[in-house]
């Protein structure tokens, strides 16, 4: 019986019926060419139900200590009933991707049962083209987006002839590193004293290139959220983003942030809620590394970088160049800090968001940022699960009180996928963001060509 780390416990303490704290990875597969799609999926589902040798993260449930009710702990749940956690359903209608995303939207708003280990694995068949999909849903207390991606991607193989793949919750030998998403490059150290963290935050405020916390303007993104979710996602060829990145001397992540900034400007303008001042995004930075003391694939370990998205103007080149300057400066600052300093400063930055999450209070004097935009990398080559090719992967992150939208980017097999989660009532017509993302990339391409 282990106490739950405070950073992980926050996601449990802040959860309520209207604030589910869970993340999903959605994968689309094409069965092997020589297989009947329906028979293959049926056999696959039976294999999942027989895979009962679970990793520690997926066999534990939260509980309170008898003599210390305020302290949460993990307890083993034996036996784990896989027929509760692993579920099989058929898509309605014509099995289009939009119907799959709607099904995932509904699932994202349904709380996990705390009397059991905090995860579910959904298999959806009936997708157009003979494909099927899987959605691995876990509580944020047991895995952040990077950790969950490791479990999913680590269960697959780059070899289409490999028939030894096992489900992502299965314990067993690790797969080759090339088949698993890479960790962050910053090592984790013991927790730093608060005074040093405050000094680092003050130094950040003196840096003219730094975006400081609690300067985010009020916006339609920073409102009370309900339990219903909307998920929208789409993909673009990675080569298009790379071409823009090369032209401006940045990275595809810089281009992705610039696309998000332009899309948010257009979307909020349509809603009549575009602030005069620019939106501020919090960009998580992984601080995981081997030997950091955190079990691989468990818990939460990320630093927080703030980025001005340039939503207060309509110049695509100025926007991406500003973002490039900010991300470079942040990387330089982080390089001078220990991982413990990064984590401590990040906790100060996240303070307002944590208060809103725990209390449900949204009317803060100032918000630390307007939304979270994260990046979860995947291998730039096709992956297979016992011969079934993963054709697409969509990240489905969480939103919280006063954070009604989340954007997550994933690179996989020469594509860049944007996954956008929003509160269904607060942010109507969320699919419009996809149209604006496409327009943002086109505008960047024209600008750098000219």
Beta strand pairing call for 131-139 and 280-286: unpaired
Catalytic residue list contains 436 = no
Q: Which CATH architecture has domain 194-378+397-449?
A: 2-Layer Sandwich (3.30)
What does the pLDDT read at residue 368? Answer: 87
**Which pair of structure tokens corresponds to residue 124?**
């959806």
Alpha-carbon gap, residue 252 to 2, rounded angstroms? 40
Place of tokens 């992967």: 393
Hey, how many other C-beta atoms are within 10 angstroms of the C-beta on 161? 9
Cα 114 from Cα 72, distance rounded (Å): 12
Closest-CA residue to 419 (of 409, 432, 429): 409
Contact 322, 308 (CB under 8 A): yes
pLDDT in the model for residue 78: 86
Where do we find the tokens 């601080």?
287
Could you tell me the CA-to-CA distances from 186 to 181, 211, 269, 449 in Å, in that order? 15, 21, 38, 36
CA–CA distance, 340 with 210 (Å, rounded to integer) = 20
- Coil, strand or helix: which one is 20? coil
> Quick one: pLDDT at residue 71?
80
Distance CA 309, CA 407 (A): 13
Class in CATH terms, 2-179: alpha beta
305 neighbors 285 (Cβ within 8 angstroms): yes
> Backbone phi, then psi, for 142, in 5-degree steps?
-105, -15
- 304 forms bridges with which residues in the sheet? 284
Eight-state DSSP code of residue 227: S
Instruction: Pick left, alpha or beta for residue 342 (phi over 0 → left; psi -120 to 50 → alpha; otherwise beta).
Output: alpha
User: What residue segments make up the domains of the chain, in order of their start?
Assistant: 2-179, 194-378+397-449
Torsion of the alpha carbons at 279, 419, 286 and 210, rounded to the nearest 10: -20
CA torsion, points 440, 443, 444, 446, in degrees to nearest 10?
160
Q: Are 277 and 310 in contact (CB under 8 A)?
A: no
Q: How many residues does the chain have?
A: 450
Q: Tokens standing for 287? A: 């601080």
CB of 302 within 8 A of CB of 286? yes
* Cα–Cα distance measured from residue 141 to residue 29, given in angstroms and rounded to the nearest whole number: 28
- Of 108, 122, 140, 367, which one is the catalytic site residue? 140
At 72, is the secondary structure helix, strand, or coil? strand
pLDDT of residue 394: 98
Q: In whole angstroms, what is the distance from residue 253 CA to residue 362 CA? A: 30
pLDDT tens string for the chain (450 positions)?
688 988 889 899 888 888 899 999 999 999 999 999 999 999 999 999 999 999 999 999 999 876 665 689 999 998 999 999 999 999 988 899 999 999 999 999 999 999 999 999 999 999 999 999 999 999 999 998 888 999 999 999 999 999 999 999 999 755 444 434 433 322 233 333 344 444 444 455 545 555 666 689 999 999 999 999 999 999 999 999 999 999 999 999 999 999 999 999 999 999 999 999 999 999 988 765 555 455 555 555 668 899 999 999 999 999 999 999 999 998 888 888 777 777 777 777 666 555 555 555 555 557 889 999 999 989 999 999 999 999 999 999 999 888 999 999 999 999 999 999 999 999 999 999 999 999 999 999 999 997
- Neighbouring C-alpha atoms within 13 Å toward the C-beta of 260: 33
Contact present, 21 and 89 (Cβ < 8 Å) = no
In angstroms, the CA 207 to CA 10 distance is 31
Q: How many CA atoms lie within 13 A of 387 on its CB side?
A: 12
CA distance 52 to 82: 7
CA distances from 28 to 419, 431, 438 (A): 14, 20, 22
194-378+397-449 matches 2-179 in CATH topology = yes
């Amino acid at each position: 019986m282990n106490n739950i780390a405070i950073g992980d416990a926050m996601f449990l303490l802040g959860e309520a019926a209207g604030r589910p704290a869970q993340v999903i990875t959605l994968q689309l597969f094409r069965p092997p060419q020589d297989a009947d799609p329906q028979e293959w999926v049926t056999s696959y589902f039976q294999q999942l139900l027989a895979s009962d040798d679970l990793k520690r993260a997926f066999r534990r449930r939260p509980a309170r200590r008898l003599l210390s009710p305020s302290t949460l702990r993990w307890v083993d749940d034996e036996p784990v009933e896989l027929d509760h956690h692993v579920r099989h359903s058929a898509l309605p209608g014509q099995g289009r991707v939009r119907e799959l995303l709607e099904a995932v939207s509904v699932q994202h708003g349904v709380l996990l049962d705390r009397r059991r280990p905090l995860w579910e694995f959904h298999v959806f068949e009936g997708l157009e083209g003979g494909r099927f999909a899987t959605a691995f849903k876990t509580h944020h207390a047991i895995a952040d987006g990077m950790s969950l991606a490791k479990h999913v991607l680590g269960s697959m193989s780059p070899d289409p002839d490999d028939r030894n793949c096992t489900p992502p919750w299965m314990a067993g030998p690790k797969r080759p590193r090339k088949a698993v998403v890479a960790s962050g490059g910053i090592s984790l150290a013991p927790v730093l004293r608060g005074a040093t963290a405050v000094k680092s935050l003050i130094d950040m405020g003196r840096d003219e290139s730094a975006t400081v916390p609690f300067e985010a303007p009020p916006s339609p993104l920073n409102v009370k959220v309900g339990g219903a979710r909307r998920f929208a996602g789409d993909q673009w060829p990675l080569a298009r983003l790379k071409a823009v990145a090369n032209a401006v001397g940045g990275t595809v992540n810089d281009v992705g942030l610039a696309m998000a900034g332009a899309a948010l400007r257009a979307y909020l303008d349509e809603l009549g809620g575009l602030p005069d001042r620019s939106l501020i995004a919090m960009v998580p930075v992984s601080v995981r590394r081997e030997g950091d003391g955190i079990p691989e694939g468990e818990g939460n370990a990320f630093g927080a970088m703030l980025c001005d998205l340039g939503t207060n103007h309509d110049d695509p080149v100025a926007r991406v160049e500003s973002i490039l300057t900010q991300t470079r400066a942040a990387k330089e600052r982080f390089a001078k800090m220990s991982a413990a300093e990064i984590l401590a400063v990040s906790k100060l930055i996240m303070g307002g968001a944590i208060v809103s999450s725990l209390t449900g209070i949204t009317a803060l004097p100032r918000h630390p940022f307007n939304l979270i935009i994260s990046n979860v990398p995947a291998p730039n080559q096709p992956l297979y699960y016992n011969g079934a090719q993963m054709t697409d992967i969509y990240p489905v992150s969480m939103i919280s009180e006063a954070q009604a939208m989340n954007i997550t980017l994933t690179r996989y097999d020469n594509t860049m996928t944007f996954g956008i989660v929003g509160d269904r009532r607060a942010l109507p017509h969320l699919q419009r963001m996809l149209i604006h993302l496409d327009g943002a990339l086109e505008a960047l391409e024209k600008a750098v060509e000219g």
